Amino acid sequence: MMNFEGLDPGMGEYSPTLHGTLDTGLEPSMDPRLNPSLLQGVELDPEGLAVPESVHLLEGMFSELHSVAAEVGVPVTATHFDLQEETLWMGNHRGHASSFFGPTMGRYSSFQVHATDDIRHIQSLETGVLFLSKSNLKCCTRGGLVMFDYPTEEGADMHSLLMTDNNTLLMGGLQNYVVELDLNTVQETQKFTVDVPGVAIMRQSNRFFFCGHTSGKVTLRDLRTFKTEHDFDAFSGSLSDFDVHGNLLAACGFSSRGLNGLACDRFLMVYDLRMMRAVTPLQVHVDPLFLRFIPTYTSRLAIISQTGQCQFCEPTGLANVADIFHVNTVGQLLMSFDVSSSKQALAFGDSGGCVHLWSDAPEVSFNDYSRETEFALPCLVDTLPQLDWSHDLLPLSLIPMPLTTTEPLLSDWASAMATPSPRRAPPVDPEILRTMKTVGFIGYAANPRTRPRNQVPYKIKEVELDYDNYNQVPESPIGRDEEPHLYMVPKKYRKVTIKYSKLGLEDFDFKHYNRTLFAGLEPHIPNAYCNCMIQVLYFLEPIRCLVQNHLCQKEFCLACELGFLFHMLDLSRGDPCQASNFLRAFRTIPEASALGLILADSDEQTGKARLGRLIQSWNRFILTQLHQETQEQEGPQAYRGASSSALGSSGESVIGRLFGCEVENSSLCRCGKETVRSSLTLLFTMHYPEHNSHDKTFKEYDFAEILKKSICLEQSTQAWCENCEKYQPTVQTRNIRCLPDVLVINCEVNSAKEAEFWRVQAEYAFNKAMQKEAMEPPKPKEPPPMPTEWCLDGEEACNMDGFTFDTKAEDLRHVWIPLTLKMSISKSQGLEISNWPEGEELSSAEEADGASLYDLVVTVPHLLDARTGGNLVAHIKVGETYHQRKEGVTHQQWYLFNDFLIEPIDKTEAAQFDVNWKVPAIMYYAKRNYHSKYDLRIKNPIEASVLLTEASLARKQRKSHATFIPLMVSEMPQAGDLVGLDAEFVTLNQEEAELRSDGTKSTIKPSQMSVARITCVRGQGPNEGVPFIDDYISTQEQVVDYLTQYSGIKPGDLDAKISSKHLTTLKSTYLKLRFLIDTGVRFVGHGLQKDFRVINLLVLKDQVIDTVYLFHMPRKRMISLRFLAWYFLDLSIQGETHDSIEDARTALQLYRKYLELSRGGGADEVRKVLKGLYEKGRKMDWKVPESDTGDGQGSPKSSAVFPSVMGL
């Protein structure tokens, strides 16, 4: 807090015209008739810049470096060292701010911040500088442009700022509140109440906010709630300053002296924050006004008096008179003080308008790491070039002309010659006109989506085709070459979307996109960009077996979740699956977030994400993560017995054996010292030769040559040499000691330069193939007829290698990578890689030399499509074992996997990369017959012990509140047993829909649900209807709607801190349900299809008995459980909310009723009963009456609708 009352009142004898007026007693101390002898050593230039005499600094001792007179006679009320740049800021009593650059204090910028009020606090940000005045907070750029101006409440008297993080600050002053402000929105987010007279100074540590009050008290407040945790009564009069460092708080202030008022206290109060008590007060030799810790080797304190005396001392020792130095203020009083973040510089502002810079080193830097300061461009008027008047084409506009006359300029055309010519609107799409329905004078039509929304193509040249003609580009390569700047993404490669109807997904024809029996993956879940890589991992047999054999205790384990997902992909017969649980676990992995692999919804939808780079990072992450998670199996495992599989228990994982490659990294310094380190790498990144910008064309390279250079990488870099004891240029070389079973390659085609390299090399390869074909005599061959349907049952069109496509040289356009590589490591030659003809085998001599053949099995391209933002697909060579399991035939075949679209393709298409729309991202080469050395048996690791009771996560749950009785060992379910099931859900994301012009609703993206409660009840035995699972599922994610009316879930039920329910993890309950499914029980419930979909389980149709379909007539509406229970069972359920135990029991009873109906009268009787049910429902508008009144609106059990129910 600045108090001007101590200033000399006699300093005001000068003409007020120079500086305007100040309050009484605050008149500036320097006037035009100032005695020159007062300015010893300071020379004032007309700009107000002070240039001191040369300064000789003693290293380690603080002494004056420079002084600057900013605005003569106007007190400097705030000083601040910029935290980003080498600048010093000051604000004065008249609201003017100035900044000075570097230790030479050259003036950088100067501007008015407030018209009348003084600047009380300055705080620098990344993008600008904050200035606080009495009733206003202003943010300006460093050049003075206003970024925002935030007025405080009326009557506020603000004094201090405190940045709590990058985007939030606190403002305090002499009022009974502290305001929290969000700098992004420039809005008040919270207001904390404090005691009168308010907060004048604020500091922060990693434990507390510290607030200094003018009453002499310092309060310690909670960082989150701002509640007072502790307070220190430091001084009886008033507080002038305090600072915090480590575990110490030091304060200076004024004490009451009876009738004499306040006197400056020469004892500093020092407090130990560990014990929250005062230690011995520190006596100093100056009257302290400012105080700061300047920690270098020790916790030094700098104590500054108003008259310019400065003393350094230790807070726990004695003050030494020898440590006092004096700031030469020429008789002025110090008004402000700041210390740079590097602790090398001190700044003092005095009442005469001068700023003094002190330092302990001549080459001082204000920050440890400052960014470069931007300077204004120099004025070019003084440095005009010499003009040659004899030159005919010399433009006269090179001479700047001052606008002094009133004559019009030649360029000021008459309005008749400058009439604006608007662009004509493009013609309406004929498709819109054809489908338009007119209501009155307004026409409505569906958007054909042939143009971007709200954009009209701008024709720069008449010859250029607009965006609309994109659709007319033919798919044939010949047609494409005619317009090289337009490329059409073939339909099967485009981003696929699910069209949602009233029935959700039930009437969406997935078979149209996938005629195989392999399962696709749905794309609408957040972060589903990795679907293609999930398919890649699934079709590697050792990984498929590894993760399905894996089970561990971790709640979020990607290996476990992949195992569950792969089990569903195994069971599916062509229906798509969801990776929702896997992606839910993926979002919780901190490394995934740190690598930027978790996308915001908006980035995924708008195509902002750089998917090519992203999927390569994801590839590296998933291999590393699976390697670590499957290595961790050595410890005790949950849900495992002694007989469980020992896969990976040796500490080396199957991932390491499959992809791992021992690498020797050698660093050779120019001094001759060589350092060799060994490590395991799971994948390699392509490195392309440096292209000389002078050469317009790339040299021709073989893919095998580039791959060898990328694996055995040699590069020069700066590295630490222990021999030289400094960073030296070193040559780093990488060599591999063994060949992996599967070679994983990240292509790193992330820029136009690399894409051009691929394009040129593919062109070279294509020209070679054409020349070769021209030289060879043509072979007469009849191409086999293409099958009309894709081969599902092993028709003749399929052979051991899948579909036969006739490959010609013309089909090798855009192909650079070979389908087969030969690789070997020899002691003399090192790694050798060469192309190999695809169908041929190695000779026995080559095998004896350790050579291996690697076949291309996976390529993942990034598809560039301006309309959809692009997408990722996978080409996968699916092996014999997968076809054997799904289709009963043994052959290999390449397929395209594009989310839920799956289609057989030719092998050359998998290697084709037309980089204008199809950019290579990832490739897998697999050693021929590599999987023969892996154990490919799957032993289900989920055992009966998962059904036994487990502790609840909820702290408040008590046994007396248990809503279920776990199964006894004697009750363990058998195949065919009935289990009643019901699940309740909460909403994580609301659905996204749009209203069409005809008033109907179109769902763009469905709401994202999360399971919140799962209940299973016994379906037979003496305890029939008694629950044995009633788990509430703890969720880490933000719930936007608990759907309490339908789910019965209330806020707090899923929170382990306050819930009284039996709370478990999703994984724990998932394992219980998986065990029941694997055992072969039959689930009875109402609407189970949706339940299993949200839980992310795939259950075979013969294991599901859904009462929705039992009591349903074709082409009629589905009937609610509540209506069925009232109609058939005379039960009133789901009154205020739903209860999953009640719903599961009711579904079981309805199934029993259905069995009795069908046994009693067969299918005809059931049809008759359903007819009566639908008639009754229509009469009552499908609403259940509140209570039975005997007027015919009650339950129809006794009516003649179906007499066969009378005796039930």
pLDDT digits (tens, 9 = 90+) for 439-488: 888 888 888 877 777 776 665 444 333 333 333 333 333 333 334 444 57
Which contiguous run of DSSP H or E holds residue 984?
A: strand 978-989
Q: Tell me, what amino acid is at 41?
A: G
Given the structure tokens 């580009």, which residue do they identify? 473
Work out the burial of residue 429: count CB atoms within 10 Å of its CB; fewer than 13 is exposed, 13-18 middle, 19 or more buried: middle
**pLDDT digit string (tens) for 406-449?**
777 777 777 777 777 777 777 888 888 888 888 888 888 888 87
Residue 748 CA neighbour count, 13 Å, CB half = 14
Number of H helices, E strands in the chain: 21, 58
Give dist(CA 550, CA 564) in Å, integer.
Answer: 10
Give dist(CA 1171, CA 1165) in Å, integer.
Answer: 10
801 has pLDDT over 60 = no
Contact 531, 899 (CB under 8 A): yes
**982-1014 CB burial, b ≥16 within 10 A, e <16:** bbbbbbbbeeeeeeeeeeeeebebbbbbbbbbb
**pLDDT digit string (tens) for 577-625?**
989 899 989 988 888 888 889 887 666 666 677 889 999 999 999 999 9
- What's the average model confidence in pLDDT over 309-326? 78
Of 92, 58, 89, the residue nearest 77 (C-alpha): 92
pLDDT of res. 439: 84
Query: Radius of gyration (Cα) for the chain, nearest Å?
Result: 40
**pLDDT digit string (tens) for 917-941?**
899 999 999 999 888 888 888 888 8
CA dist list (Å): 422 to 365, 425, 971: 57, 9, 82
Of 702, 673, 675, 676, the residue nearest 689 (C-alpha): 702
Give dist(CA 76, CA 353) in Å, integer.
Answer: 5
Query: Partners of 238 in the beta sheet?
Result: 254
Q: Which has the higher per-residue pLDDT, 819 or 788?
A: 819
Give backbone dihedrals phi and psi of 228, rounded to 5 degrees, phi first. Answer: -70, 125
CA dist list (Å): 1114 to 288, 537, 1111, 1121, 1156: 91, 41, 10, 18, 22
CA dist list (Å): 280 to 283, 318, 1161: 9, 10, 98
Give dist(CA 816, CA 923) in Å, integer.
Answer: 13
- What's the average model confidence in pLDDT over 893-919? 91
* Lowest-confidence region among 797-806, 1113-1122, 1179-1188: 797-806
Task: State the DSSP code for 514.
Answer: B
- What's the average model confidence in pLDDT over 1146-1175? 87
CA dist list (Å): 402 to 387, 388, 389: 18, 21, 20
Pairing relation of β-strands 830-835 and 820-826? antiparallel
738 has pLDDT over 70 = yes
Residue 452: cis peptide before it, omega within 30 degrees of 0: no
Residue 496 CA neighbour count, 13 Å, CB half = 27
Q: Tell me, what amino acid is at 202?
A: M
| pTM (predicted TM-score) | 0.58
pLDDT of res. 38: 38
CA dist list (Å): 389 to 393, 400, 410: 9, 16, 21
Give dist(CA 298, CA 279) in Å, integer.
Answer: 18
**pLDDT digit string (tens) for 160-201?**
999 998 889 999 999 889 999 999 889 999 999 888 888 999
Give dist(CA 228, CA 249) in Å, integer.
Answer: 16
Helix %, strand %, coil % of the chain (to 5): 25, 30, 50
pLDDT of res. 137: 93
521 has pLDDT over 70 = yes
User: What end-to-end distance do the CA atoms of the chain give, in Å?
Assistant: 88
Task: State the DSSP code for 1178.
Answer: H
pLDDT of res. 503: 54
Give the chain's mean pLDDT: 80
Pairing relation of β-strands 893-898 and 918-927? unpaired
Give dist(CA 556, CA 1036) in Å, integer.
Answer: 11
Tokens read off for 474:
């033919």
Residues in the chain: 1208
18 has pLDDT over 50 = no
957 has pLDDT over 60 = no
Of 922, 909, 915, 918, the residue nearest 756 (C-alpha): 915
Helix residue ranges, H only, 424-463: 430-435
- What's the average model confidence in pLDDT over 311-317? 83
Contact 253, 270 (CB under 8 A): no
